[in-house]
Amino acid sequence: MNSQPQAEPLAGNHWRDYLELTKPKVVALIVLTAVVGTLLASPGLPPLQALIFGNLGIALAAGSAAAINHVLDRQIDARMARTRRRPLPSGHLDHTRALAFAVLLGALSMLLLVVFVNTLTAVLTFGSLIGYAIVYTAWLKRATPQNIVIGGAAGAAPPVLGWAAVTNSIDPHALLLFLIIFAWTPPHFWALAIARRNDYARADVPMLPVTHGVEFTRLHVMLYTVILVLVTLLPYLTHMSGLIYLLAATALNARFVWYSVMLKVTRRDDLPMRVFRYSISYLMWLFLALLLDHYLPLSRI
């Protein structure tokens, strides 16, 4: 007799398991950066159709990529304390239903973007979905300790996608937003990797703290934070943003640098997760500052 928990269909309370497949907290941050890209692409309010359907399509694609990540990583997740209670390793869902759910989300995403937005946004969104779900999850994550650096390109795409939904083009200012998230990803994720290094070692995932040691990773968190600080100055230096953004970025960067230095010079066990959590708030407030700056002309004085 099979003692494994049986997967249930999408009904009753089990919708929560399907929702968890989409990594809603991650998707929320992705959608925020996409929405900011959409709003910054227009001097005033962007077309409502692009704002609504563009970001809904991007959100569905992000959820699809996350669900595929769950499917491909289910054996790794089962070996890690942080992830073993996810729907697939816990037996709440089976991988065929999860994959069908991911395909459904991806198909709906492409349909919305092609019909209601534009083909360029659909193509770029599909590329970022494949980049995260297949290139990063199935290959880079298992192949190199630089997986986060290389694979970060897929996670940095949403503001470019949001911008393209309005302009049907790849704008240089949108690429600055891409560059900010690209530079943010290594210190954000390596802080978590330090905290969860034993999990990654147990699952044979070659994260930087596992392959090169914690001290090496602490140094690189600090170095990439410095790179991030320099990159976040570019919107002001290129006149994309004004004083409100510059002041907010300066304050946020000062705290991030302090955290990264403390992570390097101290050995407090709580610091890696504190850096990780702060990095999430950092990105959220940085993009909200971009938005506030965009709609307040006094920032240009």
pLDDT in tens, 189-247: 999 999 999 999 999 999 999 999 999 999 999 999 999 999 999 999 999 999 999 99
Q: pLDDT band for 299, please (50, 70, 90 cuts).
A: low
DSSP structural state of residue 90: T
Q: How far apart are CA 164 and CA 117, in angstroms?
A: 9
Helix H segments across the chain? 15-21, 24-40, 48-49, 55-72, 74-78, 95-112, 119-130, 141-143, 147-155, 158-167, 172-195, 197-202, 208-212, 214-232, 234-237, 243-265, 271-295
Greater pLDDT, 209 or 6: 209
Residue 290 has pLDDT above 60, yes or no: yes
Cα maximum dimension of the chain: 74
One-letter amino acid for residue 147 of the chain: N
pLDDT tens profile 73-96: 999 999 998 899 999 999 889 999
Alpha helices in 203-299 (DSSP H): 208-212, 214-232, 234-237, 243-265, 271-295
